[in-house]
Amino acid sequence: MTPCATMPPAHPFDDDKLREECGVYGVIGLDQAANFVALGLHALQHRGQEAGGIVAHDPHAGFNSARRFGYVRDNFTKAGLMDTLPGPLAIGHVRYSTSGNKGLTAARDVQPFFGEFSMGGAAIAHNGNLTNAEELRRDLIERGSIFQSSSDTECIIHLMARSMGKTIPDRMEEALRRVEGAFSVVAMTRTKLIGVRDPLGVRPLVLGQFGEGWVLSSETCALDIIGAKFVREIEPGEMVVITGARVESRHPFRPKTPRFCIFEHVYFSRPDSILGGRSVYETRAQIGVELAREAPVEADLVCPVPDSGTPAAIGYSQESGIPYAMGIIRNQYMGRTFIEPTDQIRNMGVRLKLNVNRALIEGKRVILVDDSVVRGTTSRKIKDMILDAGAKEVHFRIASPPTAWPCFYGVDTPERGKLLAATMSEDEMRDHLGVDSLKFISLDGLYRAVGEAKGRDPAKPAYCDACFSGEYPVEPADMIAKGFELKAQAAE
């Protein structure tokens, strides 16, 4: 473990994006599996930059683990460390804290977690958020459990410890039937790699194959990095138990209509991943096409707010016929070390990360395409930069509907009152940001872009879209207990 107990988030000034979650990865049947896990976690680094961990098992050396703060490439590339993680079976996790110490990861919260049971040890890593974790934790503590971390994932270990199941997969099934919320779990015993998705399938999890080995990953881009073949997505509510060449599929939960997170398509997943059989890049370009149809405006240039606004800007440009240009350039080398030190640097904010391509912008009417508006603080600064560079007009087009509700399923969102769209209408937001026009894609338009030709069916939505609609597919019990008001109660 590194000597420091906690570490601040990678971009302390940039609080204007929803923060992804975590990424999980597991490998069985490959020599030095931990090395493959490290590569996979590196490809999933966009899902969490605060810390990472790997647990490996070797028949002779037993279970070994390493947990580190910071980027995977800075830690899990060192031979001295990787040599301590031998064996053909390993799982790993990258994290941005979504429960426990938000934005300030504590060493004890870094996953995977490990538990020793009568039938042997098991390690578990989890992407998502349990909506009844606090209630479960209270109950478990009352019955004698001693928690080591503030992470909701530890509840699963304690529930497994109390189960009477004969095998670890049986105990995990029983434990997961008691938790609510969103979870994609990757776990391991001495001989098995296990993957589970919650009944709604809110967070992604895919299965890949590499030679004689099997891989579980949050996203397909992390299969590509090791040359693994994409086999299929783990189904919502499915548990796979992989032993050697055999993949056993179980369905431990009562079936429900899936509600995959629609924001994975908009922003969280990497554009080179495949989600639900669709390329994330193509979906984002299609969002731009829908946006151009719904919210046209006369202008000279379409520019993305890099990097995640890029495919939607290309789609907008293609549909509208307005030329696409890289009007804002991102500094690819923004590192943790440079941005931490002083308030003065902190106040430079977005200019450290983005710079306007003045020669392109001067005298032009510019459409800026961004993936989302959360607090609006960054959008205002970008608008100022574009006007300072001599733009004649600035029109914002946003590739998601207004984010008006917090996410309780594994994404770090500001509290509701800090979300711009929770307190302002679209026109008020336009005036607040000081732009010539502001338009968000509609929820129906977003559904069309992800492949639902008829748009959103309000009686049976095909996705989780709670951060836009306020309709939570799993009641956020812990938050309601703390006073959070659901939409119907808030509006009426």
Site residues for ligand SF4 per CB under 6 A? 202, 261-263, 407, 409, 411, 464-467
64 vs 56: CA distance, rounded Å? 5
Nearer to ligand SF4, 27 or 200 (CB): 200
Q: What is the DSSP string of 81-116?
A: HHTTS-SSEEEEEEE--SSSSTTSEEGGGPSPEEEE
Nearer to ligand SF4, 389 or 411 (CB): 411
CB of 248 to ligand SF4, least distance (A): 28
Question: Exposed, middle or buried by CB within 10 Å (0-12, 13-18, 19+), for 343?
Answer: exposed
Q: How far from the centroid of its chain's Cα atoms is residue 358's Cα?
A: 33
43 vs 298: CA distance, rounded Å? 39
Provide the H-helix boundaries in 271-419: 280-294, 310-320, 336-339, 343-348, 358-361, 377-388
Question: Exposed, middle or buried by CB within 10 Å (0-12, 13-18, 19+), for 488?
Answer: exposed
CB of 83 to ligand SF4, least distance (A): 39
Type of residue found at 201: G
450 vs 317: CA distance, rounded Å? 19
Nearer to ligand SF4, 385 or 474 (CB): 474
CB of 419 to ligand SF4, least distance (A): 12
Token duo for residue 358: 């003045």
Provide the H-helix boundaries in 44-193: 72-75, 79-82, 133-142, 153-162, 168-178
Nearer to ligand SF4, 87 or 401 (CB): 401
CB of 262 to ligand SF4, least distance (A): 5
CB of 277 to ligand SF4, least distance (A): 19
CB of 462 to ligand SF4, least distance (A): 12
Nearer to ligand SF4, 54 or 464 (CB): 464
Asked whether 278 and 266 are in contact (CB, 8 A), the reply is: no
CB of 205 to ligand SF4, least distance (A): 14
CB of 466 to ligand SF4, least distance (A): 4
Nearer to ligand SF4, 91 or 419 (CB): 419
Asked whether 410 and 202 are in contact (CB, 8 A), the reply is: yes
Type of residue found at 396: F
Residue count of the chain? 492
Token duo for residue 46: 């966009």
Paired with 216 in beta bridges are 26, 207
Which of 22, 261, 303, 407 is an active site residue? 22
Token duo for residue 323: 């030329």
CB of 242 to ligand SF4, least distance (A): 27
Nearer to ligand SF4, 41 or 202 (CB): 202
Residue with tokens 């509907």: 401
Q: Between β-strands 6-7 and 105-106, what pairing exists: parallel, antiparallel or unpaired? A: antiparallel
464 is a catalytic site residue: no
Type of residue found at 353: K
262 vs 267: CA distance, rounded Å? 9
Nearer to ligand SF4, 407 or 450 (CB): 407
| Greatest extent of the chain over all pairs of C-alpha atoms, in Å | 72
b/e 70-99 (16+ beta carbons within 10 angstroms → b): bbbeebbeeeeebeebbbbbbbbbbbbbbb
Paired with 437 in beta bridges are 395
Active site residues per annotation: 22
